[in-house]
């Protein structure tokens, strides 16, 4: 029985060594979000934001506009160092929307002026975030990237 167990262990080791396996994250497909952006800008009750002028190393990976769900706008990106970043906008009640978009982050006392607007830092959830409350909608830039990357994304946002 010990001999059988040893042979099984050797066979498993050989299979592990010689069968290729890749533990790295898969390469995400770039999506074109321009049609959805135009649709959202026509249908939403607020100015829909999207980045302009980011380097081509930022890869758009997901896009969604749901008019029946508080005019919610989502645009996801992979950063140049393969972190995740998202832009979320909605007319939903800000406290609920921010909690959902940041996945549980809490407001800090730190604010930052970006393009003449005051954004609040959020930390502690799954994502760090910059949050901009607005008259008609709340904008959240959140993700696993650094606050420098969050700031770069927020600075690139344009509404027309």
pLDDT digits (tens, 9 = 90+) for 12-33: 777 777 777 666 666 778 999 9
The 10s digit of each residue's pLDDT in 81-94 is: 999 999 999 999 99
Mean pLDDT along residues 108-125: 95
Residue found under tokens 């029946």: 68
Q: Where are the domains of the chain?
A: 34-158
Please tell me the pTM assigned to this model: 0.83
**Cα separation of 127 and 10, whole Å?**
43
CATH architecture, domain 34-158? 2-Layer Sandwich (3.30)
Tokens of 106: 């809490």
Query: SS3 helix, strand, coil % of the chain, rounded to 5?
Result: 30, 35, 40
Mean pLDDT of 104-111: 95
Average pLDDT, the chain: 91
How far is the C-alpha of 130 from the C-alpha of 115, rounded, in Å?
A: 13
In whole angstroms, what is the distance from residue 51 CA to residue 58 CA? 10
Tokens, residue 55: 């380097």
């Amino acid at each position: 029985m010990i001999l059988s167990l040893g042979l099984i262990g050797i066979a498993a080791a050989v299979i592990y060594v010689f069968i290729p396996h890749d533990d790295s994250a898969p390469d995400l497909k770039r999506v074109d979000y321009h049609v959805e952006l135009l649709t959202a800008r026509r249908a939403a009750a607020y100015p829909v934001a999207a980045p302009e002028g980011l380097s081509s190393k930022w890869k758009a990976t997901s896009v969604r506009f749901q008019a029946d769900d508080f005019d919610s706008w989502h645009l996801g990106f992979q950063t140049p160092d393969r972190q995740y970043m998202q832009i979320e906008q909605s007319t939903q009640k800000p406290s609920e929307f921010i909690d959902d978009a940041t996945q549980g982050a809490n407001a800090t006392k730190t604010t930052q002026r970006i393009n003449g607007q005051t954004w609040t830092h959020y930390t502690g959830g799954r994502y760090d975030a910059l949050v901009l409350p607005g008259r008609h909608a709340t904008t959240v830039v959140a993700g696993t990237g650094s606050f420098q990357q969050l700031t770069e994304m927020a600075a690139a946002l344009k509404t027309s």
